[in-house]
Structure 1
Amino acid sequence: MDHLRGWIGREEIATDHVAAELAGRFRATFDEAPGAPCPGDPAPALLHWCLALPGALTRTLGPDGHPARGGFLPPVALPRRMWAGGSLAFHNILRIGDAMRRTSRIADVSVKAGRSGTLCFVTVQHEIDVAGRPILSERQDIVYRNLDAGGAPSKAPEPAAEGWHRREVLAVPPLLFRYSALTFNGHRIHYDHPYATQVESYPGLVVHGPLQATLPLRFAAEIHGVPPRRFTFRGLSPLFDNAPFFLNAEADGATLKLWTACARGPVALSAEAQW
């Protein structure tokens, strides 16, 4: 643990150009007409997760499709890595043609005991700017854990409530594959069904954490008319391609509460949007 905590404070800077073609492909992935984005047009919300991506060589990827451990992120030995949640504050609009810069810093590394065993949490703080103009601040929570030990849970999870606003989503394999391509994500649980089910023992392909977060943010923007200025989310249970799931939303004062869940299933991701 002392070795892993030595990564706290480590920084990394990455840059990229917000291309019109990428914005169009992002919109098409979410069944939105790609249009003809021009320089200066607003980029889709959360497109920054498709920018300044590390380009690990294919031969250096691990058996799960992830890059080798170490480098900017600490070399946590636990086999499963996923986004546990995050928080975003949008200061200005990212636009087509912008030359963005992302400064990332390891803010914390901690270990906790969970129901499935040891959990290691890594908190990363990102700041994105364009020519010194702040665009957004983001906290990203990453969790590492062991493979499931097996056995039935001691208590069935409580089914999620239905929101005032509700929409069905089909997590079809082409959607998951396209999002993996947009984010240059080689993790095989999102596109390789035999690997996901036979090696990692999932019931189907796993819906990406950032994809699952992008859908309710887009839902919130549609309901309110404009994207939120603040957005927080927390992953609670996975979603798979073997059943439709639902976006749910309900106002709570000035906050729009959002959550995803399968029919009669527990909350998979909970989120809050504020303007």
Structure 2
Amino acid sequence: MNTDRLEKWIGRTQAYNERIAPFPSNALAATLDRDDPEYADGTPLPPLWHWLHFLPVYKLSEAGYDGHAAPGGFLPPVSLPRRMWAGSRLTFTAPLRIGSTLRKVSQVKSIQAKHGRSGQLVFVTVSHQLFDGETLGVDEEHDIVYREEPAPGAIAPAPPQAPADSDFSREIHPDPVLLFRYSALTFNGHRIHYDQPFCVTSEGYKGLVVHGPLIATLLLDLLRRQRPGAVVKSFQFRALSAISDTESFTVHGSVGADGTTVQLWAQRQDGALAMQAEAIIA
């Protein structure tokens, strides 16, 4: 695919201010079945929970066929129809607190066309920085992948198998209520998370697709349950295969010999590696 017409989007920026209200954190804590004290003004946001804020709001008439905002606004108008969150790299440099008015600055960093086993791909990398006043709290790079429709009868490439052993793990049952709640909390209209006929007939999935950022959040939630006093300094993850609501999956963690590097991953019921991640803790 020729991306020359998309190059003018590189460097495009947008910025928003938002007062961080407590409701989204309390609602996510309930959705994750946590027994946290009530989140209130002054409470630090747990890592990745900033994804509940600075949400893109667009008119229903501005939505594309898949429920996302139609292409061509802040993000480039990539013509490939399937869009997924491929991965992120984050550094947490200072606490962000509920009740504060924060500023988010986003910029399109790169656009790359590739040809993979599943056909044409376009990767768009966007940076996001969150500030409390002049203090940088989160520095993130977010990779978005656009893909072709699967060819009729095409067999998806087999994902790698997950590691055999872990130090701790937890089973997750991704029912439609969990997916609905996370979609609602993140104002995510992507139909693959709630429209089962669309998922199966148009997108070729087995069922509703579990959100990539929800899986990443569950990985760090697992770490918080095991190491509640740990401070996450950085986190990176890469999505490798889809998980659907038709089966349970497990999240796993293994602490390195240095005590600060934690390998995290999500494993499908068939043993396939769905997401691979690494956290650095203090």
TM over 0.5: yes
Deviation at 1:222, TM superposition (A): 2.4
Contact kept? 1:127, 1:136, Cα under 8 Å: yes
Q: Does 1:171 align with 2:181?
A: no
Normalised by the size of structure 1, how large is the TM-score? 0.95
* 2:68 matches 1:66: yes
**Aligned residue type for 1:258:** L
| SS of the residue 2:232 aligns to | coil
Aligned residues of 1:73 and 1:106 also touching (Cα < 8 A): yes
1:143 aligned residue: 145
Q: Which residue of 1 aligns with 2:272?
A: 266
Q: Which residue of 2 aligns with 1:189?
A: 192
2:241 maps to 1:233: no
| Matched ranges for 1:107-256 at <5 A | 107-151=109-153, 153=155, 156-162=158-164, 163-225=166-228, 226-253=230-257, 254-256=260-262
Shift of 1:156: 4.6
Q: Distance in 1 between matches of 2:185 and 2:277?
A: 23
Q: Which letter does structure 2 place at the counterpart of 1:248?
A: H
| Stretch moving more, 219-228 or 170-179 | 219-228
Distance in 2 of aligned mates of 1:109 and 1:155 = 24
Q: SS of 1:185's equivalent?
A: coil
Query: How many pairs are equivalent?
Result: 275
Between the aligned residues of both structures, percent identity stands at 44
TM-score, normalization by structure 2: 0.93
Distance of 1:117 and 1:14 partners within structure 2: 36
Q: 3-state DSSP class of the match of 2:245?
A: coil
State the AA in 2 paired with 1:246: T
Report the residue type matching 1:218 in the other structure.
D
* CA displacement 1:33-78 (0-9 Å, x = unmatched): 3643221111232121111111110122112111110111000000
CA distance in 1, matches of 2:181, 2:191: 13
Q: Which amino acid aligns with 1:178?
A: R
Letter in 2 for 1:69: P
C-alpha contact 1:217 1:227 (8 A) present in aligned 2: no
Residue identity matched to 1:186:
G
Q: Label 1:126 to 1:191 Cα distance change in 2 as closer, same or farther (>3 A).
A: same
Gaps in structure 2 of 5+ consecutive residues: none
Q: Which segments of 5 or more consecutive residues in structure 1 lack a partner in the other structure?
A: none
Deviations 1:89-132 (A, max 9, x none): 00111111011110001110000110111100000011100111
The worse-fitting range, judged by mean Cα deviation, of 155-164 and 119-128 is: 155-164
Q: Which residue of 1 aligns with 2:54?
A: 52
- The answer to whether the 8 A contact 2:182-2:214 is kept is yes
